[in-house]
Structure 1
Amino acid sequence: MPSQQVAMTGTLRALIGTVGHMLSGNAASALVGLAATALSARALGPVDYGVLALTLGYTRAVERLVTFQSWQPLIKYGAALTGIGDKTDLRALLKFGLVLDLAGAGLAWLVAIAIALVAGQQLGWSDQTRQVVLIYCCVLPFNLNGMTTAVLRLFGRFRLAAYGPVGGGLVRLALCAVALEAGAGLVTFTAIWMATQIAGALFSLLLAFRVLRDNGVHGVLAAPLAGVTRRFEGLWSFAWSSNLSLTLRSSANQFDILIVGALAGPAAAGLYNIAKRVGRLAEQVATQVQAVLYPDIARAWSAGRVADVRRTVWQAEWLLFGTGALGVLFFLVGGETLLRRLAGDAFAGAAPLVIVQMVAVTLAMTGTGARSALLAMGRQRQVLLATLAGTLGFHLTALLLIPRIGAMGANIAHIVLAVIASAWMITSFRSASRLPNPEAA
C-alpha cells in the first residue's frame, strides 16, 4: 500500500490530525449540501419540500436495503494484500465487489419502481409524489459506491474522498440558486438533485479506477472471479452478515422520514428532514473516524497488535463523545437562530428536533470505534446482533410515539437505537479484545 496511508500510531494526536484533514473537505461538502437544502426548502415551502425530502429518503432507503455494501468485506480482506505478489488476488477481490455493486444497483432500481407503482397509494402518496419518486429512481442504477469507497480507503486517499464531492455539491448549489430565482417548482428541483447525484457517482467511480492505475493495479474488469470465495475464506459469510447489519441500520436511518410522513404528514416530514440534516452534521466526524480506523485496525489485528487496537478504539470513542457533546451545546444555544437564517421562519419549529437529534447522534457516534474494531476482528455477528436489537427498539418506539407527538417521536426512537446498539458493541469489544487472536496465530 502507498505511503499516503495513515500509520496506526495509537496516539490521539495522529487520529485527530488525519480526521481533521478529511473533515476540512467533508465539512465543506456538508455545508454546501446544507445550503442547497436550505435553498430548496425556501423555494418549495414545507409541503413541497416535504415531498422532495420523502423522495430522497425513499430512494436512499431502497438503496441501503437492497444494494450490497461491498466496501466492508473488500476492506476486511483487502487490507492484508500489501505485497506486489498480492495484486492478482486484489484485482479479483475488487471485481467481486464491483459485480455485487452492479447487481445491487440494478435490483434496487427495479424494486424502487415496483414499490412506488404498487404500494404508493397505501403509503399515503399523492399522484404528484409518486411521479416525483419515479423520476428520481433513475439515480439508483448509478450508485456503485461500494468498490469506490473500498479503493479510496485501502490506498489511503482520504483527502480525495473528502474533497471529491465538494465540486458536485457546488454545482447543485448553483443550480438550486438559479431555480430559486426563476421561481421553479418541485419537478425542477427534483431533476437538479437527480442529475448532480448521478454525475457525482460516475465521477467517484472514475476516480477509483485512476487510484488503482496510479498504484499499479490494472485489469480489474478482466480479472477472473473463479475461486475468489475459496481464496478468501469466509468472504460470503462476512459480506452477508455485514450487509444485513447495514440494512438494519438503514431501516431506521432511511425509513424514519417515510414513517414520519405516513403517520404525521408531508409538512412534518419536511421539518424532520431539516432537523435531521442539521443535527447530523456532527455525524460526519464519526464517518471519517471510521474511514481512518477500519483499514488500519484490520491490519493491526492481523499483525497481532492488540494493544494498539484497544488504545486507538478507546481514544476514538472519547473523541467522538466529546465532539457530539459540543454539538449538543451549540444547538441548545443557537439552533433556532441557525434554522431561521438557513431555511426561513417556517422551519424555526424544527429547533427542538435538532437538539434531540444531536443527542441521538452523540450516542450513536460513541459506538463507532467499537464497531470498526469488531468488523476488523471478524466479530461481525456481534455488530449484527447489536444493530438488530437497536433497530427493533427504534421501530417499536417510533410506531408508539410518532402518532402521539409527531416527528419528535422519531428523534426519541433514534436515542433508543443508539443506546442499545452502542452499549452492546462497546461491551462486545471489551470482551473480544481480551481473547486470543486466531488471525495473528
Structure 2
Amino acid sequence: MGEGHPHRLMARLWERVRAFAEDRLLRRVVRNSAYLFISNVIAAVLGIVTANLLGASVFGTLGILTGFVTDVNRLFSFRMNDVVVRYMGEALAQRDKARAAAVVKAAALIEGAASLFAFLALLALAPVGARYFAKDASLTPLFILYGGSILTNLVNETSTGVLQVTGHFRSQALINLAQSVLVALIIVHAALTGGGLLEVLWAYLLGKVILGLGPVGLALYWVGRVLGRDWWRASFALLPPWKELVRFGISTNFSGTINLIARDSEVPLVGFFFGPQIAGYYKIALQVVNLLIMPINPFIGTTYPEITRAWAAREWTRLKNLLRRVSFVAGGWSVLAGAGLALFGEALLFRPIAFFGRTFQVYKAEYLPALPVLMILLVGYGVANTFFWSRLLLLSQSKADQALRISFLAMLGKLALAVLFLPAAGYLMEAVFLSGYFIVSTGWMVVLGLRGLPAAAQDGEAAGED
C-alpha cells in the first residue's frame, strides 16, 4: 500500500484515458457526432422561443398537430435507414458494390411507395386528429397543410442510411444547420411581430422540406461516387435473400410502430387524455430532456455503422470496447445532467435570472408544472441513453425479431397501464409509465445483445487489441 498505491491508481487512470484517446473506433464516432451537435443546439433554443411565443395551450396544440402528422408518416415507415445501414454496410465491408447498389435501389422504391400511402392516410385521418387530439375540428386544414411534409420526405430514410454508411455526417450537419438557422429567423420574426400558430407551422414545414430534400440530393451525389454512376441499374437478383430482407424490413417497421405507440406519441396521447395545455407541459418536458441528452443523440446514428462493421469483420474485442466506452460517456453525462437539473432545474428554467444587470427567463412561469414530468422522464431516458446501443447490437446480429418482441411486450405493458389508470391517475402517471417502458425494454435488450457476443468478447481476451 503506502505511497505506491496512489501512484498505481493514477497510472491505471492515465492508461484508461490514453486507451480512450487511442481508440480509433471511438474517435471516429465522437468526431462524426460532433458534426451534428451545433444544429441540435439551435433547434433546442428555437423550441424555447416558440414555447414562450405561443403559451402552454397553443404550444401544446402545435405539438399535437406536428406529432400526429409525424406519427401517421412513421406508422407506414419501414425504417429504411436501418435496412440500408445493415445491408449496404455489410456489402461494402465485403467489397460487393453491386449488391450494395441493389439494396439502395430497393430501399428507395419501397420507401417512396410507403410515403405516398402515408400521405393518403393522413388526408383521411386529419379530421380525427383535429377533433379528438387537438380538441378543435377547425384545425383540420392545418393538419393537412403540415402533412405536405410527408411528400418532401419520400426517400429520406434511404438517403440518410446512405450518408451514414458512407460517413458523410458533416454534410447532414450542414443541412440541419441551414434549416435550423432559417426556421429560427422566421420564428424570431414571428415573435417580434406578434405571430401565432400559423406562422410557426409554416416555419416548421419549411424546415421539414429542407430536411427531407437535402439528404436526397447529397445521397444521390455520394452514392454515385461510391457505387458508380450506373448504381441504379443494379439487378434485384443481387439482393440478399428476399425472405431475410423482407423479414428484417417488416421487423424494423413493427419496431418503429411499437416505439410510436409506446414512446414517440406522448404529446398527442397526453392531448387525447388531458387536453392541449397538459400536452404543452409534456412538450416542454420532452424538449428539456432532449436538450440534456443532445450530446448523446448523435452517437446513435454514428455508432450503428461502426457496430455493423465490427460485427461483420468479427472484431469482437474492439466491438465490446466500443460499447463499454460509449456507455461510459453517455451514462456519465446522463448522471451529471440529471443531478444538475434536480438541484437547479426550477431556478434555471422557470424563474427569472439576473445577469449583468438584466433579467432573463428561459421558460415562462406558466410552464412550471412541466418540472415534475421532466424529473420522472429523466430516469427512463437516462437508462435508455446510457445503453442506446442495445437495439443496434441486436440488429447487427440479425436479431431484429427479438428486439421487436421485447419492445412489443414492454409496449403492451405500458398501453395496458394507460388504459387502466388514465386519465384518473393524473398526467404524472403517464411519465412514470414511459420511464418504466425505457428501463424494462432497454435492460432486456442489453442482456440479450451481450449474450450474443462470442466467448472471446465476453471474456475480454486480447483486450489489448486495437
Q: Is this contact kept in 2: 1:335–1:354, CA < 8 A?
A: no
The yes-or-no answer on 1:166 pairing with 2:177 is yes
Q: Is this contact kept in 2: 1:278–1:354, CA < 8 A?
A: yes
1:35-434 alignment, distance < 5 Å: 35-82=45-92, 86-118=96-128, 120-123=130-133, 125-143=135-153, 144-215=155-226, 217-220=228-231, 222-229=232-239, 234-340=244-350, 341-434=361-454
Q: Deviations over 1:110-146 (max 9, x none)?
A: 1122112356434463123323212111111122321
Residues 232/90 of structure 1: CA separation in 2 closer, same or farther (3 Å cut): farther
SS state at 1:130 partner: helix
Q: How many residues align?
A: 427
SS state at 1:81 partner: helix
- The one-letter amino acid paired with 2:172 is A
Report the Cα distance in structure 2 between the residues aligned to 1:399 and 1:83, rounded to whole angstroms.
47
Q: Is this contact kept in 2: 1:282–1:361, CA < 8 A?
A: no
Q: Is this contact kept in 1: 2:334–2:382, CA < 8 A?
A: yes
- The residue that corresponds to 2:462 in the other structure is none
- The one-letter amino acid paired with 1:66 is F
RMSD between aligned residues: 2.5
Q: Is this contact kept in 1: 2:93–2:309, CA < 8 A?
A: no
Q: Is this contact kept in 1: 2:61–2:134, CA < 8 A?
A: no
- The residue that corresponds to 1:31 in the other structure is 41
Q: Is this contact kept in 2: 1:335–1:355, CA < 8 A?
A: no
TM-score, reference length from structure 2: 0.85
Larger Rg: 1 or 2?
Answer: 2
The yes-or-no answer on 1:21 pairing with 2:31 is yes
- The one-letter amino acid paired with 1:82 is L
- The one-letter amino acid paired with 2:397 is M
* Structure 1 unmatched ranges of 5 or more: 1-9
TM-score, reference length from structure 1: 0.89
Residues 84/425 of structure 1: CA separation in 2 closer, same or farther (3 Å cut): closer
Q: Is this contact kept in 2: 1:353–1:408, CA < 8 A?
A: yes
| Segments of 4+ moved more than 6 angstroms | none
SS state at 1:234 partner: helix
Shift of 1:72: 1.0
SS state at 1:125 partner: coil
Report the Cα distance in structure 2 between the residues aligned to 1:292 and 1:40, rounded to whole angstroms.
29
